[in-house]
Structure 1
Amino acid sequence: MAVADSDEYDDAPGAAGRFDTTLVSSPVRVFGYDELELTFDSHLRPWTGQSATVTVAFDGGEETTLLRYDSTNTANDYDADLANSTEALRFAVPSGVRQAVFRWRLDAPRNSWYWAIDSVAVRTTATATPSLDDATQLWVVSDIQGHPRDFAHGLRDLDAVRPDAAGLLIAGDIVPTGTTAEWRQIDDVVAGATSAGIMPDQLVAAIGNHESYAAASWETLRDRFLDFAGRDKVYGEYVLSGGGGEVPVLVIGQEFPRPPEVGMSDEQVAWLDERLDYWTERKKQVLVIAHFPLGDTVSASWIPWYHESYDRNDELTAMLGDHPNAIFLSGHTHYPFELGDWAVRRRVPGGHPDGFLAINTGAMHIEWDARGESTSSITEVTTRDINRGLTIDVYADRVIIEARDFGLAGPSGDNEVNEVLRHLEVANPLLHGRRR
């Protein structure tokens, strides 16, 4: 990790009150490629008069700017979109050049803020995006929690943009407490969507914490969830098919009464490890869906009360870290898609250098956010009602994820928004590898 910190800079003779530093990469061989992509993890705190730039120069030639953040395109002091984010910068490679050198420059008044980067890689890219007809389309929602009308509204919006979806994935907290009346509300929405001809053929559900808060035994509440999910265990595998071919989806979750939030058997963990290996050997990108995030992945998962939800958090993280083709989908936190860490690559010591991808699935209920940056004094607030989810398009060589805002269901249930807030293209790392 490299940190440029103007806050700790003292004026030196001739410095004119500014902090100006550049990190230069070693040369990277790029000969024979038309296009490549520079990726790195980034945490930038902007400030007035401060600029952060990334450039590339080929064979010792002039620098070309790939990225620039300054007061014209950032929010001073703290910009949530630039905190704990990942930058992916595509660039054309001129014909005949052999090497590229990259530079990260922070130019700032003394006593401004800082820029930290990590996990730098240059990789090949996928070709132009094919037609949606060539994709296996999926819908993803979570944390409905007693908002069946928003759920129904979101399904209509999803059908409007991805009408040929192979499956609906729900990342837990489907009901508020787990009563039979609550499940009946959700069943009615699903039945209504089915009657309207918009429900995908396959429903894939993960168990959340709210499924087991009602006044009944754990076993009774678990079985109500399993009846809805159409399984006899909280974990399982689905293979969904569409224009992009087969898409493996692995579901994991809580098997035992709390605490901890997610108690898992040896059998479930061994099963997950075996199925990840199976699909990795076949060079397939694989979706893993669960309610709780793993520690130190997506937004809020670094906060103490989210960090250790799994009794085997470190074991699961290390396991997934060996599978760069794994995409881990989690709900629970209700944090905004606007944050830089709504999607992150989580790397582990000794694992694959690309780690695994973790994605926040949003919520169809209220939104939460953090206040403060110190782990020891962090607080949370509710910010607003939301209704959000994902579309996932799986192609033969990549996955494209869009984070969407459906808008709240109005009095007539027809308040249309359907706005794309985030667009992420994830090339299959088993097919498109690193250059360095």
Structure 2
Amino acid sequence: MLRKTFLSAALSLSLLAAAVIPTAVGAKPEKEKPLLAFPVISDIHIQSWDPQSHQKFKAALSDLHTLGPDADALVINGDLTNGMPADYAKLSELMEQNPHPRKVFYTMGNHEYYKAWIDRNGSWNADAFPNDETEQASIGRFLQLSGKKKVYGDQVVNGFRFIFLGSEQYRQSDPSNLEDAWLSEEQLEFLKASLRKGASSGKPVFVFLHQPLPGTVSGTSFCCVNNRAIVQHAELRNILSAYPQAIFFSGHTHWELKLPGTLVQDKFTMVNSSSVIQPWTDNGNGGEMLTGPDESEGLYVEVYKDKVSIKGRDFYRQRWIPEAQFTLPRSIED
């Protein structure tokens, strides 16, 4: 297993010294204004008929707005909905009715393909998969929400590069894809080019994909039937490994943030974002289990001239998660 905790040996890099320093929850607030601030949440699982998904998402947005009313962006890293048109309509409605940063970035999760499991009567029907649903139709609904032309792309926010990746196939193309992200060669080449551009700035580069790399952050030994999560995981890991300043955020596992594998370093940094709708945890017997019904979590990221702060947030109790407060020291020349 490749997992390494945040206490792993520091990466050798002059631009980003990746030794992770746990941040005390009771530390005094930063006096210096961050160069960049953005929350990262995932696995909100908005369904039109599910009031709990609405309430938890609204509570997360409210808490994040209280924390950072001037945040520069919001990233929602996959599993936005269950793929149904009514789910997307409800998500759009919730976004219109609740405070959030002006810039919102979405990535595509496996659940964005789930209309393929639902028949004409609105019932789960695995026997009739894909229930006349195509992958392009699923992707099209996501692109309509995100306002993008592809499931992958990049943006520069306050001089920092954000790279968004997403699965381009589901089980219709290949049943062996299961719930794993499928990344085309074109997408991987795009990633290489975008990383080169971001690295030339001497700043951290933020990369987002719903599914994690196998054997890394907490939950990756349990999240997937074949323990793969990303079909092209070897290629993706190889690309990211050339950029120690890359910080790779993933969701999908739902594993809670207080666990020791929330932030992992192995040539680059990987961070798990838990889940807004329902965190999971280690059951202590080699498996996983649900946490309490009210639990809801996410991350808040701040970038300063000398460090990157990544803080786990408990949206239900509106407080920081002590075990998930990390500081990545860095040195840049702007």
TM-score, length-normalised on structure 1? 0.62
Superposed CA deviations along residues 238-290 of structure 1, whole A, max 9, x for unmatched, are 1112xxxx221100010122342211111100110111122112211011011
Equivalents in 1 of 2:140, 2:10: separation in Å? 46
Q: Which amino acid aligns with 1:191?
A: E
Equivalents in 1 of 2:320, 2:18: separation in Å? 30
| Residue of structure 2 in register with 1:356 after alignment | 268
Match of 1:368 among 280, 285, 292: 280
Match of 1:265 among 165, 170, 184: 184
Task: Provide structure 2 residue ranges, at least 5 long, that are not aligned to the other structure.
Answer: 21-27, 47-52, 117-132
Superposed CA deviations along residues 145-179 of structure 1, whole A, max 9, x for unmatched, are 1312211111110011111111110110011x211
Superposed CA deviations along residues 95-121 of structure 1, whole A, max 9, x for unmatched, are xxxxxxxxxxxxxxxxxxxxxxx6367
TM-score, length-normalised on structure 2? 0.80
Match of 2:325 among 409, 423, 429: 423
Shift of 1:130: 5.7
Q: Is the 8 A contact 1:211 1:225 kept in 2?
A: yes
Shift of 1:124: 9.7
Shift of 1:308: 0.9
Residue 218 in structure 1 maps to residue 135 in structure 2: yes
Q: Is the 8 A contact 1:157 1:418 kept in 2?
A: no
Equivalents in 1 of 2:227, 2:95: separation in Å? 33
Shift of 1:321: 1.1
Equivalents in 2 of 1:292, 1:124: separation in Å? 23
| Residue of structure 2 in register with 1:205 after alignment | 106
| Residue of structure 1 in register with 2:248 after alignment | 328
Equivalents in 2 of 1:363, 1:306: separation in Å? 22
Q: Is the 8 A contact 2:38 2:302 kept in 1?
A: yes
Q: Secondary structure at the match of 2:290?
A: strand
Q: Secondary structure at the match of 2:276?
A: coil
Once the two structures are superposed, the pairs formed by residues 79-98 of structure 1 within 5 Å of their partners are: 85-87=5-7
Equivalents in 2 of 1:401, 1:388: separation in Å? 13
Once the two structures are superposed, the pairs formed by residues 232-271 of structure 1 within 5 Å of their partners are: 232-241=149-158, 246-258=159-171, 259-260=176-177, 261-271=180-190
Question: Percent same amino acid among aligned pairs?
Answer: 28
Q: Secondary structure at the match of 1:205?
A: strand
Q: Secondary structure at the match of 2:58?
A: helix
Superposed CA deviations along residues 211-232 of structure 1, whole A, max 9, x for unmatched, are 1111422211111111111101
Equivalents in 2 of 1:142, 1:124: separation in Å? 24
| Residue of structure 2 in register with 1:314 after alignment | 234
Is the alpha carbon distance of 1:359 and 1:306 closer, same or farther for their aligned partners in structure 2, counting shifts above 3 Å?
farther
Is the alpha carbon distance of 1:321 and 1:219 closer, same or farther for their aligned partners in structure 2, counting shifts above 3 Å?
same
Is the alpha carbon distance of 1:279 and 1:330 closer, same or farther for their aligned partners in structure 2, counting shifts above 3 Å?
same
Task: Provide structure 1 residue ranges, at least 5 long, that are not aligned to the other structure.
Answer: 1-40, 42-82, 88-117, 347-354, 408-415, 432-436
| Residue of structure 1 in register with 2:71 after alignment | 165
Alpha-carbon RMSD across the aligned residues, in angstroms, is: 2.6
Equivalents in 2 of 1:167, 1:313: separation in Å? 28
Is the alpha carbon distance of 1:132 and 1:218 closer, same or farther for their aligned partners in structure 2, counting shifts above 3 Å?
farther
Shift of 1:129: 9.0
Q: Is the 8 A contact 1:324 1:429 kept in 2?
A: no
Q: Which amino acid aligns with 2:155?
A: Y
Q: Which amino acid aligns with 1:162?
A: G
